[in-house]
Structure 1
Amino acid sequence: MNAAERLVEIYYRQKRCFTISDVKVLSGNNRQIDLLVYDGKEKLHYHVEVSVSHDMKWAPTLDDIYHRMHYKFFGAVKFGKEDNKNSDSGRGKTYLESIKATYKDYNIDYKEVVRVYCAWCLKTENDYANLPKWKEEMGKLFDLKADKFEILSLKNDVIPSLFEKPGKSNYEDELLRCISLFDASGVYHRQNNLQL
């Protein structure tokens, strides 16, 4: 689990959710789920994938996220090796059934799991404006409800949430402890013009 994945995992734990990280996809060739989350209050399961670079030239568009979601959540293979008969794309292999089997192994309903893609942020304001329409299109494309797709921003959602109530004694988790120390220093608040 990398640092961005850990921060997202902490974000869900702070919301009183149960989390499991780095879940191996059953019969998946180098496939894993970054994070499975269960929200007991809302009775919702989440499959979360995290891909973060804070360099804006790498910020994804909704079209980029569609391709990444197709790969991570629906078992598509990476293209470009169709001529290699030993590659997944060359053999026409997909991993959707393996992903479904992994969900089932954790008692998660494929039709009900919320698929969350976490990036630093979306590329443009236009991407944010088109998000509701995009979710509807994704739902139609994958025969799911639009509310089964979410985009999470590490910059705009996760990090600010972690600074809202970091607490003072998070000694059991080194990242939470760092956030607590940053919060106590006031640096984050001064840089973001927040009230102390």
Structure 2
Amino acid sequence: MTERPRRRQARGEQRMAEILTAAAEVFARSGYEAATTNAIAAEAGISPGSLYQFFANKEAIARALADRFVTRMRAAHEAAFTGSDPADLSLPELLDRVIDPIIEFNLANPGFKALFARPDMPAGLAEAARPIQEALFARVTAIVAVRAPALSPAERALTARVLIQVFQAMVPLIIAAPPEERPLLTTELKHLLGRYLAPLT
């Protein structure tokens, strides 16, 4: 008796994942404002009515995508830091460990930049983006605390905000560059952040 509901639940979860993947592609291609639920449904190969069985509107899809992106970003950073302590790494090694996974994450998730890595985020996305921003801020603040223990909590928070703003300003440039230019731009980003951090640490 329980196998059939489980199969239906698994099919439902798979369909939701397919809709989110399709939405990420549509958001990346068209931008959040121009994207429509009809276009997302077409990308997913389903009818708009089927989409509405899972998501009430475009903002609900964006919020679900935010949850997916938070999970993937945390997994990328956990993998990057497994087996190492930020305090034991040189500054260049630390920047490699922090920056490379986020660049790879953005390349692997094109819808992320279209939704959450933009200075003019629509008001409807602000709430959905909060978990991503909090996760990134917590990670960077923790690293600053390890590397610059003499800084006060307020100074750590300020340093983290500056690092994140500089990083977010450069990421779209790196992602939009031809593949052969991305390593050079990524290296320049690391040099920039390293010059800012070095006197503090």
Q: TM-score surpassing 0.5?
A: no
- Higher relative contact order (Cα pairs below 8 Å, separated by 6+ residues): 2
Instruction: Give the structure-2-normalised TM-score.
Output: 0.24
Q: Which has the higher strand share?
A: 1
Q: How does the TM-score come out when normalised to structure 1?
A: 0.25
